[in-house]
A and B are shown apart, each in its own frame.
Chain A
Amino acid sequence: MADVRIRRLEYGDRFKYVLLLPAVVWVVAFTFLPLFSVVRYSLSAYVLGRGITGFVGLANYVQVLQSDRFWHSIMVTAIYVVVSVPVEVVLGFLAAWLVNLSPPGARAFRTIIGAPLFTMEVAIGYLGVTLFSSQGGLIATVLAHLGIDIPWLSSPEGGLAAAILLDVWRWTSFVFLIVLAGLGSISSELYDAAILDASNHWQVMWRLAIPLAWPVTTIAILLRTIEGLKVFAIPFALTTGGPGTSTEVFSSTDYLTTIQFFDFGKGSAMGVTFLIMVSAIIALFFRQMRRNMP
């Protein structure tokens, strides 16, 4: 990796801090303090209309850890991320690679394939109902003509599958755009050099593009995973977590617990638990990223 030295400009320390501090202060105020608040609530009992009614120690955590619904939502979220992210990365990379070959009309393809990122997830979730519903849904009807009957919206597996499909539709474009940007900055001399070495350009892809675009791809994976763990709108709009609570992702469960009946204590405990669980994973990713960032 090329070295980029940070130039020292002799304007004194004050300037650089003046520029930086507002952002830092803002983040601290709006993240640390709320987090602290969340921890506090997680250790209390909160009742609608009466506020905090007492300190209960770890009782909320015990409840959360014993809650089937909580663990189930973790599992659903995990499945969701583990399935959708790799699919999106592979498809996104492939699409980026193909567009990067710059065939005539590449601009149009780029526009189309990148567009879904700019749609509203909630609307896409409801659109999903129009696609998967067994009463008039496009996909359900097409499959019915082929004799296939999948209970998209009336079974947990079907609901999850449908949500993941929608997610792939929407977020592949995210990976696509990032990887495309990365591939685009590979200079053409490298391609020329590679062509001399390899016999066909699929080999070029394997040996050249993937290694060079790996850092960018890692970023895409990391960002996509972070966003994926927070997933809420698509599954919620599609099935509202149903049937029952079988397709509830973590964010839905936490949201419903917290805001539906103002059970701030349990909702907060849930949130903290989740954060602890994912920090381990995220920390791993971050370490990887640090290696890639010069």
Chain B
Amino acid sequence: MTNVLWVRASYWSRLLVYILLSLAAVFTIVPFLWAMINSVKTVADTFQPGAMVPYLNFSPTLQSWHEVLSDPQVVRAFVSSVVVSSGTTVFVLILGVPAAYSLARFSFPIPSNDIALWFLSQRVLPPAVVLVPFYLLLVRLRLIDTWTGLIFCYSTFNLAFAVVIMRDIFRDVSTEVEDAAKVEGATAWQIFWLVALPLSVDGLVVTSVLVFAFTWNEALFASALTSQDAMTFSALVLASRSTRGVDFNIASVNTLIGIIPPVILYFFVQRYLARGLTFGAVKG
């Protein structure tokens, strides 16, 4: 999809655009590259900043990777993160998508905009503030250090995304198909399941990816509410400072491991993001 502005731009303008974009790309990539380089250094090597090119300035080794990946705690934490993030995503979809549909299609005593905004306002709550009651609640329910406990907490924080994004998506879905189905005798549920949902896959994908990414990233709650069994990768990394300070090589390996699932998801769903991220603000 070419933009007419590009087509009509002068050579210099185009060059400028490329330069700026390249700068942005470089700015973005450098930390990743640095992480990759450091992840194949030994601890001693990490103190030589000049050693930047593998095989040229230093001999790379997979020792750091081995050290991290062979720690069963790391593997467990990684699994925990995957389970908790996926579980939260699923749960949020189950709770939020029907609610979003309802807000999109029906009218309520309170304007649906306000209800949607109310959901969004839940995100204002800093986790640190509600840490205490959540902690005590989980203790009472014996859900401390369990995946379920974390999923409950994260679902609360991320429900807003599902509701706001999906509401917008549903409003875009044309109602003609739904009307036609109704004429055929479909029940409300059937219309929801078999008509509306399939037409809104874009939005579901966006919501899922966002919720997954935000949950994957969260460290504060995970740190406070888990210790051994359900500790997520985020919380584990938070606690990875050693008495020597931060080990460059370990920190780099952690970074790279930590970005794998979300970034993979991101690569797959990029094109859907365009549609879903407008949050209802643009019509056109």
Instruction: Report A's interface with B, CB cutoff 8 A.
Output: 1-2, 4, 6-9, 11, 15-20, 22-24, 26-27, 30-31, 33-35, 37-38, 41, 91, 94-95, 98-103, 107, 109-124, 126-127, 129-131, 133, 135-138, 140-141, 169, 173, 177-178, 180-182, 184-188, 191-192, 195, 200-201, 204, 212-213, 215-216, 218-219, 223, 226-227, 229-230, 232-233, 236-237, 240, 250-252, 254-255, 258-259, 264, 267-268, 270-272, 274-275, 278-279, 282, 286, 289-290, 292-294
- Given A8-B106, A9-B182, are A178 and B277 also a contact pair (CB < 8 Å)? yes
Instruction: Return chain A residues, CB-CB under 8 Å to B126.
Output: 229-230, 250-251, 254, 271, 274-275
Q: Are B108 and A16 closer than 8 Å at their CB atoms?
A: yes
Partner of B3, one of A101, A213, A268, A271: A101
- Give the secondary structure class of B's interface: helix
Q: Which of A30, A111, A185, A200 neighbours the largest number of chain B CB atoms within 10 Å of its CB? A: A30
A-B residue pairs, 9 tightest by C-beta: A271-B129, A34-B133, A118-B262, A37-B133, A23-B99, A215-B281, A19-B102, A141-B49, A120-B258
A258/B131 contact (C-beta < 8 A), A23-B163, A122-B237 known: yes
Assembly CA distance A219 to B188 (angstroms): 32
A8→B179 CA distance, assembly (Å): 11
- The 7 listed contacts between A and B (C-beta, < 8 Å) are A23-B163, A34-B137, A91-B24, A99-B21, A101-B9, A122-B234, A191-B5
- Name the one of A4, A38, A127, A259 contacting B252, with C-beta atoms under 8 angstroms: A127
A233 touches B132 (CB 8 A): no
Cβ A94 vs Cβ B278 within 8 A:
no
Q: For A35, give its contact among B113, B130, B135, B258 (CB under 8 Å).
A: B130
Number of interface residues of B (CB under 8 A): 117
Pairwise interchain contact B265-A118, C-beta atoms closer than 8 A: yes
Interface residue SS majority, chain A:
helix
Please give me the residue from chain B that is nearest to A204 by CB atom: B5
Could you tell me the distance between the alpha carbons of A292 and B17 in the complex, rounded to whole angstroms? 31
